[in-house]
Amino acid sequence: MFFKSLIPSLTIILVSLSINNYVSSELPDHPIDDEDCAYMALEGECTKNADFMKESCGDKICDEWKAEYGPYDLEKINSFYDLSANDIDGNKVSFQEFRGKIVVIVNVASYCGYTEQHYKELVKLHSELEGYALEILAFPCNQFGAQEPDTPSKIKSFAKSKGVQFRMMEKVDVNGKDSHMVFKWLKNYAGPFKIDWNFATYFIIDLDGDVEEYSGITPLELKEELVMLLDQEEL
């Protein structure tokens, strides 16, 4: 009887311990580095375990997280399809129209060292998968080395000169407090904590609205993954 009377109290203690030790149980078996801190910030540890984050990672990572994500309740965005953005002509695009499609999203620039190769491969990828349920959304971005300074009309003309027939979107920020909600949500869902440069990170959204990020690759390296997802779409 005495043991049974202890069960409710023990349950409360164990639950409390599991919550307090959640972060510790998830810690890597190596000294915490910047990548670990970025991952934990995206997992919400800056609010759930602020003291631990300050001790382990310093103030910078959580200050950056709060500036970009703090004012926004991203949990109110239930899925990728709740998002929207303007195209390069200023027309609003509801992402509801991408249901039943595979979507590729990337930030681009006209005067980047990667521009020639990535636009060429994006055009080739789009051409080779034409007719499939695939959308490519290219968001111009001037955050990295001021490599996209032109007006939307000039950016559109430049992209057309490269053979672009996929959808060009509005010019946006992809990092920081002024980053577009699309990129806030994508990074919070799949990472990375920060996008490193133009053409540096590609996001693939599958038929269920799930997101995977691919950093440090070129567009044609995505083809195998896209073909696999498109084959599933046809089943």
112 noted as active-site residue: yes
> What is the rounded CA–CA span in Å between residue 209 and residue 211?
6
Q: Are 209 and 179 in contact (CB under 8 A)?
A: no
């009887």: which residue's tokens? 1
Identified catalytic residue from 57, 62, 112, 141: 112
Q: Are 172 and 179 in contact (CB under 8 A)?
A: yes
44: left (phi over 0), alpha (psi -120 to 50) or beta: left
> What is the rounded CA–CA span in Å between residue 215 and residue 132?
24
């269920």: which residue's tokens? 208
Catalytic residues: 112
